[in-house]
Amino acid sequence: MPESELRELLEEAWRKRAEGNITGTRELLKTVEASVSATDFLHVGRVFHIYAQLESDEGRDRDAIPLLRKSLSNYVKSGHENRIAHSTRHIADVQRRIGSNSESEVNYLKALEIYDQLESPCDLDIGNLRRGLALLHEKMGKLNKAQESWQAARDIYEKLSLTAGVEESDERLEAIRLKLQKRRSNRSPLQ
């Protein structure tokens, strides 16, 4: 099957997933799987990525991780750094949601390092990575780091005119400011 058709089928699968049409998404993914070469690492990686998203959509984050790892493995074989970073960030997101905080932090930082080395990374991807890292750092009680990531995410979301992202960032930044203020006021003068 020509690459353009594979791309169209994968885009259609992504749209069906967004619409909540899980059966239609799986059917399209099976069609792509049957048509794509095992050495077409980019398309195979995308297939596993969408399967993983379906698992997460259904509340099965633990089942999504092996699929995301297969996706990442294919992207690594393809050498496509942007996809590697993006997939690594998705693994970190799922790890954060299931409480694997240390592993999640390592993957967020790996993804950020890759994005930092790219010539023209996608701003939205970096904003979403910063958002996930901020949520993780809040969860871990690393409020100064969370504040730094929320500010970075906010700046990106503002640049992209993503009002919901700016508002969420502002809310989280204010909540962190209050927590830090309380933390400082609870310290005794001798500490």
Can you give the residue ranges of every domain in the chain? 1-121, 122-186
Beta carbons within 10 angstroms of residue 52's beta carbon:
26
pLDDT number for residue 189: 59
109 burial (CB, 10 Å; 0-12 / 13-18 / 19+) is: middle
Percentage above 70 pLDDT, the chain: 98
CATH architecture of the domain with residue range 1-121: Alpha Horseshoe (1.25)
164 is written with which tokens? 């919901």
pLDDT number for residue 89: 97
User: Is 0.75 surpassed by the pTM of this model?
Assistant: yes
Q: Please report, for residues 45, 89, 143, 173, the alpha-carbon distance to residue 176 in angstroms, rounded to integers and kept in the order given.
A: 37, 23, 6, 5
Question: For residue range 124-183, what is the model confidence (pLDDT) as tens digits?
Answer: 999 999 999 999 999 999 999 999 999 999 999 999 999 999 999 999 999 999 999 988
Is a pLDDT exceeding 70 seen at residue 190? no
